[in-house]
Structure 1
């Protein structure tokens, strides 16, 4: 059945929802205004519980953290002996990450794209202050694993496939909030859409889904909220 587009003989205009333009300037402003409720002071529960599925016994691997903010997940991986590469558009969380982690670091400008490279004195943590879509393999090489905690749902929908094309590791952990409605960001991506994004060149496994609804989420206009974890392996 076609939707009714007329009311009292006059054609109705379809209702549209204006989506927020999610670009590097938007996220810089969020950090500047400290509107970063998505940041957690704890290692993500999925990474702590299911890291064996991502690491599969490998030691000293290189892990990419896209749109990393100042996540303590990077320090967790570093302390386990892994090589950490983060990509973040705002300098604020990058500096705070190193200071709060008690790590000495250096800063140098990037020469091929706009931005800076922050790295520990031992070189095992590098965070690139740049637009995610400018970041490329010439800057940091290939990765053994990717921990995407919310990056895919924090870019514009028409950029999600472009973001996926940058992910050429063997293992990808994709963790994201899932709700049926509510404000953007984060975008809503359903399980079949995850398969559409990755399934042509990867195997996609839904590892778990956890009820994450809290009282504060009622202000989003929603009544349920799950957090899903996917393991994506490049074929």
Structure 2
């Protein structure tokens, strides 16, 4: 089945933020920038060498709540900078408008701070077709994909059954989270940029063309 038809036949479509909506680019490792806030005392080897900002955040919490809050606030600021500089996925604006016009409810889900995701959607005019969003609300990594928490929370907030939803994601963690939550999932593959530089990416291809047409079967719901 064509991806466009597959999505418009569902009442609700949940879309991962990173990949299908925003093309986040690699920046200076956030963990490295956060470590500068931990003072000059020697750090544990794991913290000193990690590229995972959540490891740094967890260590900051052991120093004290004030340090944890300061480091997390900086993490959110750096994250917001990266999101603000990210371009839209090719064709996503037209695709979302089309889905909304067909009566499909769209929810955007991401591991980033909810405020950063909301700002990006508003900046690019996607806040109208997107009915709901679910993002990180604190420094705890346990609720982020591959855990299904964000997805189950979004479903519960709208009081919809998992069977009426379809998830679109580009990473293994996102797809795993959706399947664990009981949703069918299809994978988004970032399209190769056309060599025709005179044609804007948004007009050069359909967002639906970047989706696999065969859904990934869902696991039994956990709620």
Length-normalised TM-score, structure 2: 0.39
Greater helix share, structure number: 2
Q: For CA contacts below 8 A with separation 6 or more, give which structure has more relative contact order.
A: 2
**More strand per residue:** 1
